[in-house]
Amino acid sequence: MSKESNKIYTVGQMAKLCRISPELLRYLDKQNIFRPVARNPKNNYRCYSEEQLQDLLLIMELRRLGLAYSTISELIDDRDLSAAKSVLEKNLINMRREINLMQNKYHQVVDLLIRVSSSMNLTNRSVSDSDPQIKIEYVPERLVLYTRYPRDIDIELNYIQHYIELLKLVDQFELTCTGPITLVYHDHFSRMFNAGGKEIMGDLEVNISVANSNSECKQLRKFGGFTAATFTYLGHYRELEDGYYKMKEWAESLGHEVSGVSFQELVVGRTITSNEKNFVTKVFLPLEMIAI
């Protein structure tokens, strides 16, 4: 063995050579990932051999690639190529999953930003049910995650419990949400407005579009695939009743018939802003399929 190969480095010297902090070396030692070859008997300082430089450089390279220290420790302890291949493949799968999750979150943030921006644009003009800008459009079919059961449909609280349940299902089945919450009133739309503070039981569904499926989740279904009359309203949900009736009258005046249950998309609601004047709701009444 050459004289150079017997060279011993202190924590500071080793850290300087590898351009890392001394604190990191001490951390790796405490975690049993990279231990010093010996301790100085005079002062108990950590001592590293020149041969250990290769191990430390490997640790830094693997860490730079995003591997956890626990994974790196496995590779350092077992230099068998088959074992290394298995560990790296497993880590690659986890990295792909994390990339997909980040991409999904990115698209959700973009969608939310678009909805918030549209709300800000609407505040610059009056969009009320006194003169709703009604139109007819096609509602594309999409996969939705939903909850549905009879309950009090007080307009102030009608979707909160459902929304919480949806969030739990999203986490449980690793689903990716896209777009706003949709409230579907399987009773006549007039029942959603709780006049006089009385409790009104109604058949309420709350759903949200999802970008992926999961065969284990039983609360996924197709929604859409029809034509509907629609308008967008700026303000609180409780003020939508007149707009619903005007939209129904408008559609019937053109010879159309309501052919399905009403629903509304909470483009911007209480989960985004506390200012009720900035709530944005898109209201729909399904019609018979007609040429637009």
Number of neighbours of residue 84 by Cβ within 10 angstroms? 13
pLDDT tens for the chain, 292 residues: list them: 444 557 899 999 999 998 999 999 999 999 999 999 999 989 999 999 988 998 898 899 888 888 888 888 888 877 778 877 888 888 888 888 888 888 888 888 888 888 888 777 776 665 554 566 899 999 999 999 999 877 665 555 667 788 889 989 998 998 888 889 999 988 877 766 654 555 566 788 999 999 889 999 999 999 999 999 999 988 887 788 888 889 999 999 999 988 888 999 998 888 788 888 888 899 999 998 555 5
Which tokens in the block code for residue 142? 């999409």
Phi, psi of 209 (to 5 degrees): -70, 145
What pLDDT does residue 35 have? Answer: 92
**What is the 3 state secondary structure string of 122-152?**
HCCCCCCCCCCCCEEEEECCEEEEEEEEEEE
CA–CA dist 277, 124 (Å, integer): 12
| CATH code assigned to 115-287 | 3.20.80.10
Beta bridge pairs of residue 184: 205, 263
Instruction: Show me where the domains of the chain are located.
Output: 4-77, 115-287
Q: CB-side exposure of 180: number of CA atoms within 13 Å?
A: 25
Phi, psi of 155 (to 5 degrees): -60, -25
| CATH code assigned to 4-77 | 1.10.1660.10
Q: Cβ distance 91 to 83 under 8 Å? A: no
Structural element, H or E, at residue 220:
strand 220-223
- How close are the terminal C-alpha atoms of the chain, in Å? 87
CA–CA dist 56, 45 (Å, integer): 18
Beta bridge pairs of residue 229: 136, 285
Phi, psi of 80 (to 5 degrees): -70, 130
> Is 0.85 topped by the overall pTM?
no
Instruction: Compute the chain's Rg from CA coordinates.
Output: 30
What pLDDT does residue 2 have? Answer: 44
Q: Cβ distance 169 to 219 under 8 Å? A: yes
What pLDDT does residue 106 have? Answer: 87
| Residue type at position 33 | I
CA–CA dist 145, 95 (Å, integer): 27
Long-range contacts, stretch 274-280, CB < 8 angstroms, 24+ apart: 276/235, 276/236, 277/123, 277/234, 277/235, 277/236, 278/119, 278/123, 278/234, 279/234, 279/235, 279/236, 279/237, 280/115, 280/118, 280/119, 280/122, 280/232, 280/233, 280/234
